[in-house]
Amino acid sequence: MTIRKVLLVDDEDDIRTIGHLSLSRVGGWQTVLAASGAEALTKAATEQPDLILLDVMMPGMDGPTTLGQLRAQESTAKTPVIFMTANIQKQEVARYLELGAVGVIGKPFDPMTLPAEIKRLLPPT
């Protein structure tokens, strides 16, 4: 799968800043940022990212709810989503995969290896 544009959704400023640097400088991808599930829905529809990195725990609309809404929109129904969370227990990861995520990345993540971790989780082209 070819990645050109990634939407990073996280309510924490630091995560968005570090993630943006990692995805753009290390990964070489155009990066769009969103601070909430609602903002993610709007930006995903307008920006049409190749991949969405989605925080699980956010105020308002959490990650699983946001994923459900993304799947309900025709323009984002098939966009791959990878959850990011500090809670990477086996049963939680299994639940996120059942919801339709292609993978789960633990937080805190290593900015130098994040793009490689993303590529490892995505289906081959």
| Residue 125 pLDDT > 70 | no
Residue 87's pLDDT is 84
The model's pTM: 0.96
pLDDT exceeds cutoff 80 at 78? yes
Determine the average pLDDT of the residues in 43-67: 97
Q: Identify the residue with better confidence: 125 or 114.
A: 114
Averaged pLDDT, 42-68: 97
| Opening angle at CA 28, ends 44 and 43, nearest 5 | 10
As a whole number of Å, the CA-based R_g of the chain is 13
Find, among 125, 124, 111, the residue nearest to 53 by Cα.
111
For residue 24, give the DSSP letter.
I
Number of alpha carbons in the 13 Å side-chain half-sphere of residue 95: 11
Q: Which of the four pLDDT bands, split at 50, 70 and 90, describes residue 124?
A: confident
